[in-house]
Amino acid sequence: MSALSPTLLASIVTILAIIVYMIMGGRVGSMRGKHSISAPAVTGHPEFERAYRVQMNTLESMPVFLPGLWLASTFFSGSVPSVWWLPAVLGAFWIIGRVMYMQAYMADPSKRGTGFGISAIAQIGLLLLAVAGIVMSWHAPTTV
């Protein structure tokens, strides 16, 4: 393996995902101010509602994405060293998908499908890699 490791790459992807989520949260705050929508209201101007839904939809997927990323990075990368980087690549695609989702949803919610699809496929891929890695680790011969 190179100086890069599955843990380092998963850490970078995690930080990038958090930054994207914080940008989404900042956008919600900005739209609150722009359209004079005081907390705790979550309805109002459509532009605010779109920003709010982008942030909430992303938050809803993060509890599946982040454990999937880390479990795949830990177990799959350890079990299949030739593609140790694959969980991080799927994690990067999840981030790209969420950014595309955000941009499309803000412009026209009916156009959000491509970004959603990319992030959903990446998320499912991470889950499958995590399960495969756990099964392979479980069945791996142990040395004493």
pLDDT digits (tens, 9 = 90+) for 36-74: 999 999 999 999 999 999 999 999 999 999 999 999 999
Domains of the chain in sequence order:
6-136 (1.20.120.550)
Q: Predicted confidence band at 87 (pLDDT cuts at 50, 70, 90)?
A: very high
The percentage of residues in the chain with a pLDDT greater than 70, rounded to a whole number, is: 97
pLDDT at 3: 81
pLDDT at 2: 56
Three-state secondary structure of 35-64: CCCCCCCCCCCHHHHHHHHHHHHHHHHHHH
Cis link prior to 141 (omega < 30° from 0)?
no
CA quadruple 101, 104, 107, 108: dihedral sign = negative
pLDDT at 143: 61
CA angle 129, 115, 29 (to 5 degrees): 110
The answer to pTM > 0.85 is yes
Q: What is the mean pLDDT of residues 128-144?
A: 87
Distance between CA atoms of 121 and 44, rounded to whole angstroms? 32
